[in-house]
Structure 1
Amino acid sequence: MGSRHFRCFFWFSLVTCHFYSVFVSAGNRIPKGVSVVDGGGTIISAGERFELGFFSPNGSRFRYVGIWHYGISVQPVVWVANRDKPLSGNDGVLAMGDDGNLQIKSGDGEIVWSSNVTSSSPNSTAVLLDTGNLAIFPSPNSKKMLWQSFYNPTDTYLPDMEVHMEAAGKELQIFHSWKTAIDPSPGNYSLGLDPRGSPQIVIWEGKNRRWRSGHWNGISFIGVTDVRTIYLSGFRLTNQGNGKLFFTYTPSGDSSFVKFQIDWEGVERQETWSNGEWRVVQAHPVDDCDRYNRCGPFGVCDRTDGMRCRCMEGFAINDGEQWCKRRARLQCGVVEGVGNDGFGEVEGVKLPDFVDYVGLESAQECERRCLHNCSCTGYAFVSGINCMIWTGDLVDVERFVEGGNTLFVRLAASELGETKRAYRAVIITAAVVGSFLLFIAGWLFLQRRRKRGVVSETNEVPKVGPSRECSIDYSGPSDLGVEGQQGNGTELALYSFNSLVAATDNFSDDNKLGQGGFGHVYKGILPDGQEIAVKRLSRKSGQGLQEFKNEVMLIAKLQHRNLVRLLGCCIQGEENILLYEYMPNKSLDSYLFDPDKKPQLDWSKRFSIITGIARGLLYLHRDSRLRIIHRDLKVSNILLDEDMNPKISDFGMARIFGGNQNEANTNIVVGTYGYMAPEYAMEGLFSLKSDVYSFGVLLLEIITGQRNASYRSTDFSNMVAYAWDLWDKGRAIELLDSSIRASSLQEQVLRCIHVGMLCVQDVAANRPNMPAVLLMLEGENVALPLPRQPTFTSMRYNLDEDMWNVNQDAASSNNVTITAILGR
């Protein structure tokens, strides 16, 4: 072959090889022998969601290999391979090396970056997945990953990325910002997790904290209140056992891109692609109160007062310095002639950092544990976390305009005494002024009656009981409307405040039955000997007035043997009080979770309680004059009468639905974590199926005799996860409370567990409605569908084509068969 022909053949071969390289790189993988050449092409994930190739940041002359979102006009880079060692020319090559590693080489053959897989394979293949994850597999058909970019991130957290940690491990600074807007090398800010106590997201500046999210309660991070239902939708914490955990995030839909990024200025942003632009959903830190520990130990950054720093109760600024010091020394225990330490409340705050103890104790047990520990400086009780105790300085506390939790700060007895003396002075002053005003009002009233000639010559002592006198302060039916509706008034007896003071012995602590979210409940006795439960709305609760109106409006119209009966009310001045029938056996949790009392609830009683609750819910959802969603169904809201019959109580959170209304949305999520349906907790979307989910959790608690939250210290995230594990292994009967196994009917127990698993399905449409639930519980000949495996996430999934689509309202026969679906 002549030299001319040889040269033509050489150039033809070179062009052909280059063309082959570019052509193959248009797929989603880089197998051995194929390369991506700078300026010659990119690889694109199979679903065309992400793209990998060479790029230069705007304004930079250096070249990097990165990953970005495909097919959108604004393409921020979400991962960079050679961020520490950029290329200075456009002759870089990305290819699988002979050692089975993915490598970036410069034009002179220098390896500037490698995946550094230790267990590589000569047939290794790199694949760009639709999640944005670049993964290396030992062979083209293998599913085992040898390496992945998700485990080697830069500054961006993407959906489905797993962030692993150990429950008692160290802080994890995982994501590192760019150095500048045009320099991807690691900057001064990092984003990660602190797993101690209860996990929280943290931003660091160097080694110092810059911002934190607050603790994880199983649904959300409690230090982020402004955009909770958007920002935290889709986070999930999975317990792998042996103290190993990992977080993932899955958005509620896949129609748009979502990313979390720590930018080069130290601000973490969540952004979503919408209508041709990246929309910022949330960003932190953004103002003075958002910055870590701005007000120092025992200080509070108060958003309700122009973001000013204030000291907690019992503390004062130390000699003009910007930090707070305790005014009175703690006694720690009983000191003769001095008294005990106690607690002051700091309400509506982001709880302090560095919690020292997290446990499953009740609120009362948590207070006692803190009080008996001389090092304890404060405690809190948070739904989903339970008892939290601090032993050091209380730092990074922020008071929110809305939301937040209550922190109980340990104070010396003298501080508490001062507060009580001041409160007593206010009470005495108010009583004197009030008495004077009552005297004047009474005198004027008598003068007016004398003029009308209707004053009796004898003065009768007013009766303690129902009175129309309270109607003077009653603003009328139109003021008790729910959701803008106006009722026709209540048919309740109106009691005077003085009559209830007498009935409850001035609301004495000895008569206190319990404490709810908006006030206390007391036992009372009317003059005729009738025992009553008196719910007194807390004056501090601005939100509680609406809940009070809800209960008056709703319960007055409801009559069912499994609903607590409302006897009357008092609306006088600032006092808003409800009177209920008295339940001698108190609430279900007082039996169910007490080791000494729970054996009294044998299986027969528990099944009767389960079906009774189901009938009460069925009445609310379908058979009452109103269509009502309870929204706060939980074990403490189930009261037991003298015969242990269950009665649903506390309708402060309830909502009325119109005849054709199936679901609604709210910006304020209320209720109790652990009982909330996923779509309600994270999106504010509630329906009749929200109550069904709560009933499912309640049913499982009745069967097990354990709280839902009690499983957080095990290898499972909650009771639902534990129940599914046993169900899937064919060992569901092990869920039954060991104290009553001898009295149980195994077939009936298993049916109840089966119904419970159907009720706690992630997707609302997969759950049965209450008519179907009751039919399945009581109908021995009803075939039950198989439940889907719950994903235990805090988000709402899109519906599948094979979704349960049976009209369950039509179920009325004992021989109804509901189509079964295979679990997945």
Structure 2
Amino acid sequence: MGSRCRHPSLFLSSLFLLYNLSSFCYAASTLTRGRPIRDGGTIISEGNNFQLGFFSPVNSTNRYVGIWYYKVSVQTVVWVANRDNPVLDTNGVFTIGGSGNLMVLDGNGNSLWSTNVSAVSGNSTAYLTDSGNLILSTGNDAGDTGNTLWQSFDDPTDTYLPGMKASLNLRTGNTRLFVSWKSANDPSIGNYSMGVDPVGSPQIVMWEGSKRRWRSGQWNGQTFMGVPNMRPLYIYGFRLVNDEEGGLRYFTYTMTNSTDILKFRIRWDGIEDHLLWNSEKKEWTTIWSQPVDECELYNQCGTYGICNRMSSPVCTCLQGFEPKSPLEWSRGNWSGGCVRRTQLQCQRNSSVENIEGDGFLKVQGIKLPDFSNWVSIQGRGECEDECLKNCSCRAYAYVNGVGCMLWERDLVDIQHFPEGGNTLYIRLADSELGQGGMSKILKLVIIIIALLGFVFLSLSIYLLWRFNAKRKVKGSLVMPNKELPLPDLSISEELSKDLSVLGDAAIEAKQGDGPELPLFNFNFVAFSTNNFSDANKLGEGGFGPVYKGKLPCGREVAVKRLSRRSGQGLEEFKNEIILIAKLQHRNLVRLLGCCIQGEEKILLYEFMPNSSLDSFIFEPERQGKLEWGKRFNIIEGIARGLLYLHRDSRLRIIHRDLKASNILLDEEMNPRISDFGMAKIFGGNQNEANTTRVVGTYGYMSPEYAMEGLFSVKSDVYSFGVLLLEIVSGRRNTHFRSQEHSLNLLGYAWKLWIEDKAMEFIDPSISGSCSKWEVLRCIHVGLLCVQDSAMDRPTMSSVILMLESETATLPVPKQPTFTIVRNHPTDVCISVESHEIASTNDVTVTMIVGR
């Protein structure tokens, strides 16, 4: 007993040391009175997701109380308490004061920050949740929430976490703002803020000071309409809640995958990032950022102007409007916007309620203007009538999930999207719509005359067809020593019937601009190819042989004779006719005519003297003839051809069978995309479709198409990425075998890329002629195009920008999953009927996938 009391000072020192050590190392999730957090100590949420304590930004000695991810190796702060009043040394304390409020004190006990909640209980407790929320309540611990007095989710900094509410008080108009840091290393209040728009339809707005900098566009129930690359599948439960009882409107989102670490953040430089933690690479991956180009900046082109980043200049006035200041507009100062050329009829005569003479211009694929009003009306027709009744109504839109939207203010912040977007109907005077103010009687007369002309023309064509049908030359073949029959340019009854079943798309293809497609009789085609002799044979694909022909005028043509066993029936044949006949682009092959007679189906194309791309890049003796400059031009040409199909042609077209053998080369080695038998037509607002009949070529089909039958423009982007890597390497994806690893060409490219050995990937025959910068960029773009998720792949417009720009910043590609070599046959064409057809190049696979 005496020995224990022999050294009382040592005993007291031990107790004091244990107390200080416990406050320094205290790592529970709860903070109570009498147990403060001193600088160096922390608390951690129960599931080890978040940590709270003192920190210093990079290159700074100031100390702040903050919350950051516990499991993320790179310290990422999501909330700061004393952001404008740092502790200048390491003597700071975070505690619950005598009033029950949370406080940050300096070494002298001065308060630098406080929750400042009135009527706080003296026994209040703070605890850190696994969602990153610091809650001050009257409960005793994290399991007993009690009465919540304050929470950090209601006082955010610059980060929007899952479970947070980006809210607007509908009664006061106040919005809860996320405010950026002042700089990358200074968490004090910055110049940019973001929150729910207090004016008009629900949307997210970013402000620079008090001026709007960017907006997300209106919410349609699934996505923000001004963020075209936002997809419901990856927005993690984003939803809008209208809490009428609480007087709040707020956006919130949840994590469908609990292992993902996701956040939104407004950066100090005014950019909103959507970030996902990559645990393998130990870094944050940017899913998307806004605004990143000039068209995304708020109202870049002024009132009634529209911004299109693919145009030069990017700003133009809407139809029916002209620059307010032509001189300033020509200098690139678009802030003055545009003004109406012709006053609306209702503005000239305000006594008339529903004026005849004003109409609406349809503008598609855009970000809808700001400051819209929602009207409870069903149907676009009723929405248009509602707008016409109100002379102040400038435009309207009817959007699924939103309903009728009207604009009574000048139209601002309009942007054209390369893909997606919505349709706006802009009110214009009748004369601006190209109708010249015609009276109803005059319009009726013109319609009657047009109908009579159509009937007369149809009758003439029918009589001409009957006349030519009687003069057709009989016999199976025309021998060279006999008179050559003239080509039959009429549309046969069979073809007319076949084309009629294709609906509006076929009608548009037939009635569009350009000459009608000539139909040749079989005898004519047979004679031009010397009776389809082997000497004229250019090659043979999965759908039949191709022959070289010569027309009487001396012009050489390529004649594609579809095999009866090819699997390409009348539907594919009609598809190819309709699609190619009206497409006009320097990087698409031109269709010169066709032949349908009995079971014979034949297409006549312009002749490409240098055959197909695969005959160069995959043949060792010819690879050297295609030096890097020509290969890069071919890559750019294919990309531009695809961009035309996806965006710039009158119909959005998905090729679905892009590969080296379907790229033909003209006399100057310019690429021409060919073989549209498997192509599909999309409507103007359609982005993807499903099919139970998956067709294409092994090695070029995207994962979502091969496994789920889901195809879109991103399916072609995947095929383009494979083709790009083949052009750079001179190796065929379906035949490539890595010596060290069981990888296909994509896996081999990825392996060399991450090992910083990408130059080993290029074709040795071009190593002396290539530009290292261009080659590495092409490999980078190719890996972006073959990413597993269609959402991660760029569009063809982005691909062209990345290929041609020396300053464009490329995102980091994700590893393609389907890179293991499989033992697939590479010399047969498999169809649902199980026919086997010899093929000289790649496999074309047709299979039924159950849905």
Normalising by structure 2, we get a TM-score of 0.53
1:375 equivalenced with 2:392 (yes/no)? yes
Q: 1:435 to 1:283 in 2, by over 3 A?
A: farther
Q: What secondary structure is seen at the aligned counterpart in 1 of 2:384?
A: helix
Q: Is 1:249 the equivalent of 2:286? A: no
Q: Higher RCO, 1 or 2 (CA under 8 Å, sep at least 6)? A: 1
1:655 maps to which of 677, 684, 691: 691
Match of 1:375, SS state, is coil
Distance in 1 (alpha carbons) for counterparts of 2:303 and 2:434: 24
Cα deviation digits, residues 268-305 of structure 1 (max 9, x gap): 10101012110001111101101110000000001342
Which amino acid is the alignment partner of residue 471 of structure 2? R
Determine if the alignment matches structure 1 residue 266 to structure 2 residue 266: no
The number of equivalent residue pairs is 513
Letter of the structure 1 residue corresponding to residue 252 of structure 2:
T
Q: Tell me which of 11, 20, 28 is aligned to 1:18.
A: 20
Q: Is the 8 A contact 2:167 2:175 kept in 1?
A: no
1:544 offset after TM fit, Å? 7.0
Q: Is the 8 A contact 1:315 1:324 kept in 2?
A: yes
291, 294, 304: which one aligns with 1:298: 304
1:118 aligns with 2:118: yes
Q: Please give the secondary structure, in 2, of the residue aligned with 1:332.
A: helix
**Alpha carbons of 1:30 and 1:281: their partners in 2 closer, same or farther (altered >3 Å)?**
same
Q: Alignment partner of 1:345: what SS?
A: strand
Match of residue 240, structure 1, among 237, 243, 257: 243
Partner of 1:726: none
1:329 aligned partner: 343
User: How big is the shift at 1:653?
Assistant: 5.3
Shift of 1:329: 0.5
Q: 1:443 to 1:384 in 2, by over 3 A?
A: closer
Separation in structure 2 between the aligned mates of residue 155 and residue 86 of structure 1, nearest angstrom = 17
SS of alignment partner, residue 52 of structure 1:
strand
Residue equivalent to 2:217 = 214
Shift of 1:103: 1.4
User: CA 1:443 to 1:231, structure 2 compared with 1: closer, same or farther past 3 Å?
Assistant: same
Change (3 A) 1:431 1:230: farther
Which residue is 2:80 aligned to?
Answer: 80
Q: What SS does the aligned partner of 2:19 have?
A: helix
**Structure 1 residues 268 and 432: alpha-carbon distance in aligned structure 2, compared to 1, 3 A threshold:** same
Q: How far apart in 2 are the matches of 1:392 and 1:273?
A: 42
CA offsets, 1:389-408, max 9 Å, x none?
00111000001001001111
Tell me the equivalent position of 1:35.
36
CA distance in 2, matches of 1:447, 1:216: 59
Q: Is this contact kept in 1: 2:430–2:437, CA < 8 A? A: no
CA distance in structure 2 between the aligned counterparts of 1:437 and 1:540, rounded to whole angstroms? 31
- Judged with a 3 Å threshold, the aligned counterparts in structure 2 of structure 1 residues 318 and 162 are, in CA distance, closer, same or farther, namely closer
Structure 1, residues 514-563: CA drift from partner, whole Å, max 9, x if none?
Answer: xxxxxxxxxxxxxxxxxxxxxxxxx999557789xxxxxxxxxxxxxxxx
Which amino acid counterpart does residue 38 of structure 2 have in structure 1? V
Conservation of the 8 A alpha-carbon contact between 2:169 and 2:248? yes
The match for 2:471 is: 450
**SS of aligned partner of 2:391:** coil
Identity in percent: 42
CA contact 1:333–1:340 (8 Å) conserved in 2: no
Secondary structure of the 1:22 match is helix
Q: For residue 33 of structure 1, what is the amino acid of its counterpart?
A: G
Q: For 1:427 and 1:284, locate their aligned partners in 2 and report how far apart those are by CA, in whole Å.
A: 52
Could you tell me whether the CA contact under 8 Å between 2:167 and 2:196 is conserved in 1?
no
Checking the alignment, whether the CA contact within 8 Å between 1:171 and 1:193 is kept in structure 2 is no
Once the two structures are superposed, residues 349-388 of structure 1 have per-residue CA deviations (whole angstroms, 9 ceiling, x without a partner) of 0000011344333211110010110101001001111100
Q: Distance in 2 between matches of 1:307 and 1:73?
A: 45
Aligned residues of 2:691 and 2:709 also touching (Cα < 8 A): no
Which 5+ residue runs of structure 2 have no aligned equivalent?
329-333, 476-491, 507-518, 520-541, 544-559, 561-565, 579-646, 656-680, 695-704, 715-851
Q: Which residue of 2 aligns with 1:97?
A: 97
Q: Please tell me whether the aligned partners of residues 32 and 95 of structure 1 are also in contact (alpha carbons under 8 angstroms).
A: yes
User: What SS does the aligned partner of 1:289 have?
Assistant: helix
Evaluate the alpha carbon distance shift between residue 419 and residue 219 of structure 1 in structure 2; reply closer, same or farther with a 3 A threshold: farther
Task: Tell me the secondary structure at the aligned position of residue 305 of structure 1.
Answer: coil
Does the 8 Å CA contact 1:170/1:194 hold for their aligned counterparts? no
In the alignment, the residues of structure 1 paired with residue 201 and residue 424 of structure 2 have an alpha-carbon distance, to the nearest angstrom, of: 16
Pair 1:472–1:206, CA change in 2 (3 A): closer
> Which of 161, 172, 178 matches 1:175?
178
1:191 Cα deviation from its structure 2 partner = 0.9
Structure 1 CA distance, aligned partners of 2:33 and 2:466?
A: 100
CA distance in 1, matches of 2:459, 2:567: 33
- C-alpha distance 107-431 of structure 1, shift in aligned 2 (>3 A): farther
Query: Using the alignment, how far apart are the partners of 2:452 and 2:319 within structure 1?
Result: 26
Q: Specify the alignment match of 1:460 in structure 2.
A: none
Matched residue type, 2:300: R
Instruction: Find the partner of 2:163 among 148, 152, 160.
Output: 160
2:291 matched residue in structure 1: 285
**Could you tell me which of 301, 315, 322 is aligned with 2:321?**
315
User: Counterpart amino acid of 1:31?
Assistant: T
Contact 1:173 1:190 in 2 (8 A): no
Write the letter of the residue equivalent to 1:199.
P
Q: Per-residue displacement from partner, 1:479-500 (whole Å, max 9, x unpaired)?
A: 9xxxxx9675579x99xx9xxx
Letter in 2 for 1:147: W
Aligned partner letter, 1:160: G
Deviations 1:690-728 (A, max 9, x none): xxxxxxxxxxxxxxxxxxxxxxxxxxxxxxxxxxxxxxx
Instruction: Give the alignment's TM-score, normalised by structure 1.
Output: 0.55
Match of 1:408 in 2: 425
Q: Distance in 1 between matches of 2:693 and 2:467?
A: 48
Amino acid at match of 2:385: R
C-alpha distance in 2 between matches for 1:78 and 1:368: 49
Q: Distance in 1 between matches of 2:387 and 2:429?
A: 14
